[in-house]
Amino acid sequence: MTLGIREEIKALAMDVDGLLTAHVKVDNELATKSSGFLSIFRAIDFGSLREKSGSILKNLRNTEGAIRSLDTKGQVLTEPQNRFIELLEKYASALISHVELFLKMISDLEARSQNNGNVTLGSHMDNSRKYKESAQDYLRFGSEMNELFQEI
């Protein structure tokens, strides 16, 4: 059974949403283990966080590719559908950038924890700031998509 274009668009949006949810879980895992005074006594498995994030990133890139190569099967799309697809691609791209920044921070922290890194507090704070700012990009596209979702 093939999906209609409307269902295919929604399925891709749900895929991206599921990957965002998976990323938020990994981010929360790091935040939980690294916050508070007692966090200096908790071991953090950066390798596991890196692997989970790497898998999410790979799936995001695959989904972004599916969005870009979406076959409309000759159907004429409505203006809201066209706009939603455009926003979904931007949303996926912004989320990819966000996860890439997270992976950079995780890799740097992992190297630092193994005394192999050259990460200073200043560079970590700069990466952390960029990471937080990058969330605003995908949130902005997501907000616009939510407004259009019922119209597609």
Q: What's this model's pTM, rounded to 2 decimal places?
A: 0.88
Alpha helices in the chain (DSSP H): 5-34, 46-68, 79-113, 121-148
Whole-number average pLDDT of the chain = 89
Cα(58)–Cα(78) distance, rounded to whole angstroms?
30
Q: What percent of the chain stands above pLDDT 70? A: 93
* pLDDT, tens only, 63-76: 999 999 997 777 88
* pLDDT, tens only, 83-113: 999 999 999 999 999 999 999 999 988 888 7
Query: How many structural domains are present in the chain?
Result: 1
Name the residue range of residue 134's domain: 5-69+77-151
